Structure 1
Amino acid sequence: MMKARINEREIHYQIDGEVQMPDDRVLLASSLDLTAGTAWADTGYVVAPFLAVPEQERLRAGLEELVREAVRATGLPVPAHAPMTAYHHLIGDDQARHLAVVQQLKEIQQVRLPVPVSAVEARVAQLCGRPVQAHNPFEELEVFHLRLVRPGRSDNNPLHRDVWLPDYDDCINIYVPVCGSTPQSSLSLVPGSHWWPESRTGRTQGGAVYNGATYTVPGVTSSPTELQLIRPNPGAEQVLLFSPYLLHGGAVNLNPDETRISLEMRFWQK
């Protein structure tokens, strides 16, 4: 049983999987650090204003509509403008239907982003202080993701680094709230952990079983000291920009009755 604190609240979760032997490598030391030279390089993340208000609202509304479309594609009628904070009520206990929705919202082609990708790239470039592009050079992909985390469910990834998966080196991540993102549900992370050696925490070798749900991403299994996570909680007109080398995830949705939906996208130096 793994223990940690999120915003000083103690959480417990079960991680199962074959454990990898630790080593003293600092993964970021041999990689491109897109936080380098910024005022937030030490913490590895920043919360900042994102797009102009009309553009940001168009982004949020358009992404919420993509979720409605995905639910409709599974055979469930969804009224126009139905709030997707109530997604968990629509789906109920139908896990197969939920997974069908999730599958549609993974690796969405950028042409379906409700605002020009160039506008998002330009703002992320401003925050990083260097030109970036939303193009994965390892896989030649140009995609974004929508994550749905229902209250009281194991929908969130275990605590991990993105770079424990292949083809996520050298990039920077954004988390943009779509709906239901609150101090009780938004993404959590461990500030400064992008410079931790691998031996600072234990992890599974491959994918992890987290509270009974199977994930492809490895998960943190142990730590010599209790991990202190925070939820930076960007507001409706903000973005959370963070290093994929940071430990993040494990952000159980503690909202009493709201699904959290967020945009996830990655950027590499141009």
Structure 2
Amino acid sequence: MASQRTTPAPTTALADLLPHRPTLLSVVRRVSMSLLIAVVIPAVLFYGVFALAGIWTAIGFALAWSYGAIAWRFVTRRRASGLLYLTAIMLTGRTLLSVVADSTWLYFLQPVISDGVVALLFLLSLASARPMVARLAGDFYPMDHELAMRPRVRRLFWHLTALWAVLGLAKGSVTLWLLQSQSLETFVLVKSILMLSVNVLAAVATVALAAYVARQEGLFGPPLLHVAPELVPVPVRD
């Protein structure tokens, strides 16, 4: 005779019944950690070492941090973000050209060029089926084809790609003006504070817009539910 009893149920089976939807907090935490590792720490490290030990030492420390962060993610078997790889590639190019030319001025000129190139790539990607932001979104939220093709999500990717393209052009223009009009010490200080602030504010705006669309699409899951296994009824035969 079959009856209902309160017996333990496997928690893994219960978890499998729930769709995987990250919470807003988990997405914000992931974005914040990516920005901290790839943008904030290198900028703070660069200026701190520059003030204490000079420009070439600061250049070396910034590059070493990027590769060290990638190596640490690899050793701990965690995936490095596309932003971290992009930062490491750009820093490598800047450092190599500056060392070959023996010119610190060239090191600071290259962000103007790289910002322009990145902005151009973002603009060109707007004509493709996958704008640049769509290619990077998987670092922060589990994406599949069905999700990426939703009309609201596609519009979000398009608008965010356009936003970061315009931002790249603006950053390049301001950097060039500062480089031509200020002393090296003033340039490094102002650029470090200004660009870091702009990047953080742009990231906040990006997360806010993405969160708004994600809520409309029902893409955020509820907070983790702690269901006591002993309270789940499971049919048991006497």
Q: Same fold, TM exceeding 0.5?
A: no
TM-score range, shorter chain: under 0.3
Normalized per residue, which structure has more strand? 1
TM-score normalized by the length of structure 2: 0.26
Which structure has the bigger radius of gyration? Answer: 2
| Greater helix content | 2
Query: Normalising to structure 1: TM-score of the pair?
Result: 0.24
